[in-house]
Every structure is written in C-alpha cells, then in structure tokens.
Structure 1
Amino acid sequence: MDAVADLSDPALVARAQSGDLDAFEELVRRYQRGILRFCRGMLGNGPDAEDAVQDVLLTAWRRLPTLRATEAASTWLYRIASHRCIDALRKRRPDGGDPAEREASQTGSEASRRLPAGPEGAAETRLALDALRGHLAALPDTQREAWTLREVQGMSYQDIARITGEPLATVRGRIARARTALAERMDSWK
C-alpha cells in the first residue's frame, strides 16, 4: 500500500520544497488515493471526505517547508489528514451530536434484522459493510483513527504512533479496543 512504505525519495521532497510544482504533483499522485481512503474511513463516503483531502493537500503545499528531511512524506501527510478529520468530527458535535453516530445506531438496529440467505449474497455483504461503517462511526474518534490507519491503510503500529503523536502502547490499546468493540457489534453478521 502507498502508506506502508514511503514512496517519496528525499530528492523529490527537496524539489517540492524548493517550489517545484511537478515534484509536489508527483507526491500528490502517490498519496492522494490513500489519504482519500483514510478520510472516508474517518468521515464517511460523503463530500466531507473529499473536502478534507483538498484541505490536506492545500495545507501540505503551504507547510511543505516544515517537512523535515528525516520525516517520511507519507507520515507527514497522514498526520495532516488525521488532524483535519478529527477537527471535522469535532465540528459535527455541537449541533446535537455526530450524524454518523445517529446513523450508526439506526444501522445497528437494521443489522439485527437479517435478510434471508440466498442469491442476494452480494446485497447482504453490502449491508454488513454498511453496518460495519456505522459501528465504526460510533467508535471514539481516536479509536476510529487508529483502526482505520491499521486495518484500511495497512500502516505499522510505529507509523500510526508517529502520525498520531501517541506512544506505541496507546496506539496498540486503541486498535485492540476498536477491534473488540467492532467484533461485538458485528456478532450478528457471523
């Protein structure tokens, strides 16, 4: 996956930092899809995720001089994306709660009403994935972030710790708690 191994070489980053738009576009090309997957995991598949990716890329362009030579471009970009998604989730809450959490509670009750087995296997799989998305949205932001970086992006625990700025043990705990909660909530889909 694009986030597991840093695909940028120091020369490409240095060129982008010196104002080379082609070099920055190459960095965008390498990481944009992975960042979009991450933002969708955090914010859902709606326009919020796409807006977040645009904000991440604009922020990255503006802050490119702050990227240290020793820091991987992927870790740096995912850290920006993580902060942007957490901010977006916090902004959702003042007006009566996170809409994703309300959707998750509705999806969860729908999940318990299993469709009969049969040729609609693909449709049932889609329902299960929708239920998973709803339950994922109901997790605390920090657990959702860690779980998405690990399970969707395939990042190492060390990379997640660097992105979130948390100790490795904290990252492991958040992922473990998220896995346990999702396994319990998805039990009816076994």
Structure 2
Amino acid sequence: MSESVDTLNDTLLVARAQSGDLDAFEELVRRYQRGILRYCRGMLGNGPDAEDAVQDVLVTAWRRLPTLRAAEAVSTWLYRIASHRCIDIIRKRRPDGGDPAEREAEQTASESGRHPDTGPEGAVETRLALSELRHHVAALPVPQREAWTLRELHGLSYQDIADISGEPLPTVRGRIARARAALAERMDSWK
C-alpha cells in the first residue's frame, strides 16, 4: 500500500514539476538525492566525483523533466541518468591509470591495517571486512558493479535494474550472479 501511495505522490510531484513548479522538483530531489549519492559513491568512490555526478544528474533531470512520460517510474529514470553519468566519468578516468574508486578502496583497505581501531574487536573486524568488500566491489567490472550496487545496496528489482541499464533481464541476472560469486569467493576468508 505504501509503495502505491509513494508512486501516486511521485506522479503528482512530477506533473507539478513538469508544469514549472520548482517546489515539487525540490521535493523529488529530497526524496531521491541520498539514494542517488549512495549509488554514485558505490560506482565512483567517496571522492568529489560522486558529489559532482549527483549535481549533474539533478541538473540533467530538471532539463529533461518534460521528456519523462512514465512519471511513476521517476526513481528508475533518475538512476538511469546517474548510471550514464557514472559510466561517463569512469570512461574518462581510464586513460589516467585506472579507476579512482578502485584506488580509493585500496587506500582504505591499507589504511585500515595501519590505524587500528580502539573499539571492541568485533567492530574492528567489521570495519576491516567492509573495507575489503568495498575494495572487491570497486574491482568488479563496471557493468557487474552497477548491477550489484543497484540490487544489493539500493534494493532495486531486477526489472528496474534492466530498465536503468538498458539491458535485457537475463543479462542483469547474470551480472548480479557473477558479481555475487566473485565477491563470495574473494570474501571467503571472512566466513
């Protein structure tokens, strides 16, 4: 029931925003900005690129709002814009020696070993495991990283991920399965 109410509210907000109501668009931004930022950080790392990407996504969304036909799919539409922006940024990074998200994850993993946590042993282990997981997620091929991040961190359905990526449903399922298998294998020592 709550999901259908949210969809109805989104539909109304989109209609208002499409007619020029800036307050309605700002409400959509409030609803989705955090999730989009988490997604961009998952794809790009925690650096300024993720925050810049979110700003680009929101500006693009405002400009393209009149083209949105299925207002009930606003979240999928926003994630699709974010996906394209993140992939563009990753492609631009490659000639400079790799993906900074991977370097950031490596740095976090190495720093976690140099700066022991003063808290309980369990908290230290959790922090180290999460750091290693971030490292391994950053090392996944971009299509697998994207699909895994949208599914596992954002809880989107396979169909929503297919809509965002523009790939067939079986391709999305395969990417998520390969990402899960690779991460399970790489994180085996934490079991």
Under a length normalisation based on structure 1, what TM-score does the superposition of the two structures give?
A: 0.87
Q: Does 1:186 align with 2:187?
A: yes
Higher helix residue share = 2
Two-structure CA RMSD over aligned residues (Å) = 2.6
Q: CA deviation at 1:127?
A: 1.2
Q: CA deviation at 1:30?
A: 0.8
Q: CA deviation at 1:99?
A: 3.0
In 2 relative to 1, CA 158–149 (structure 1 residues): closer, same or farther, beyond 3 Å?
same
Q: CA deviation at 1:12?
A: 1.4
Deviations 1:100-132 (A, max 9, x none): 3345567778999xx9xx932212211111111
CA contact (8 A) 2:36 2:54 kept: yes
Q: Which residue of structure 2 lines up, in the alignment, with residue 35 of structure 1?
A: 36
Q: Which residue of structure 2 lines up, in the alignment, with residue 143 of structure 1?
A: 144
In 2 relative to 1, CA 110–78 (structure 1 residues): closer, same or farther, beyond 3 Å?
same
Q: Which residue of structure 2 lines up, in the alignment, with residue 11 of structure 1?
A: 12
Q: Which residue of structure 1 lines up, in the alignment, with residue 130 of structure 2?
A: 129
SS of structure 1 residue aligned to 2:176: helix
CA contact (8 A) 1:6 1:74 kept: no
Percent of aligned positions that are identical:
83
In 2 relative to 1, CA 137–23 (structure 1 residues): closer, same or farther, beyond 3 Å?
same
Q: Which residue of structure 1 lines up, in the alignment, with residue 89 of structure 2?
A: 88
CA contact (8 A) 2:11 2:72 kept: no
**Matched letter for residue 22 of structure 2:** L
Q: Distance in 1 between matches of 2:12 and 2:62?
A: 16
Q: Which residue of structure 1 lines up, in the alignment, with residue 26 of structure 2?
A: 25
Q: Distance in 2 between matches of 1:104 and 1:39?
A: 14
**Matched letter for residue 173 of structure 1:** G
In 2 relative to 1, CA 106–69 (structure 1 residues): closer, same or farther, beyond 3 Å?
closer
In 2 relative to 1, CA 100–37 (structure 1 residues): closer, same or farther, beyond 3 Å?
closer
Q: CA deviation at 1:51?
A: 1.1
**Matched letter for residue 18 of structure 1:** S
Deviations 1:5-35 (A, max 9, x none): 7474322111101111001001101111111
Please list, as runs of the form range in 1=range in 2, the aligned pairs for 1:68-107 lying within 5 A after superposition: 68-69=69-70, 72-102=73-103
Q: Distance in 1 between matches of 2:102 and 2:144?
A: 14
Query: Which sections of structure 2, spanning at least 5 residues, go unmatched?
Result: none
Q: Does 1:47 align with 2:69?
A: no
Q: Distance in 1 between matches of 2:40 and 2:120?
A: 33
**Matched letter for residue 56 of structure 2:** D
Query: Which sections of structure 1, spanning at least 5 residues, go unmatched?
Result: none
Q: Considering Cα pairs closer than 8 Å and 6+ residues apart, tell me whether 1 or 2 has the greater RCO.
A: 1
Deviations 1:72-91 (A, max 9, x none): 11010000001011111111
In 2 relative to 1, CA 27–102 (structure 1 residues): closer, same or farther, beyond 3 Å?
closer
SS of structure 1 residue aligned to 2:167: coil
**Matched letter for residue 40 of structure 1:** R
**Matched letter for residue 59 of structure 1:** T
